[in-house]
Amino acid sequence: MKTIRMTFALMVLSLGLATTTQAQVGVTDNCQDDIKDLEDDIHDNRDDYTAESIARARTQLTQAKTNRVNPAKCRQNVLEARKELREGKHDKKDKD
């Protein structure tokens, strides 16, 4: 009877760990997708941003890539990169 209980407990624990791991991978994958999207935006719209804001955003994106194991930090770095780009965006009026 103890063996059955122990086996059941290990199965429940394993299932819980597997579910947690899958959830973390999903968040990380989304964060990595956001990194790629933002890198593509920088590449496609380079003239819309100042060189300084691009450099700062890329620094944040590099940090986000290294934070793959910590989705919260990855997400924070992506948000900071977006903020840097937003603050360094050229006004459309200046181009006219």
Spatial separation of the C-alpha atoms in residues 64 and 30, rounded to whole Å? 12
Task: State the pLDDT confidence band at 3, using cuts at 50, 70 and 90.
Answer: confident
Please state the φ and ψ torsions of residue 47, each to the nearest 5 degrees.
-75, -15
Q: At what angle do helices 2-44 and 51-66 cross, to 10 degrees?
A: 160
pLDDT tens digits, one per residue of 21-37: 444 444 457 898 999 99
pLDDT at res. 22: 44
Residue 1 gets which letter from DSSP?
-
pLDDT at res. 41: 96
pLDDT at res. 93: 56
- The label of the residue with tokens 């903020």 reads 83
* Total-model pTM: 0.65
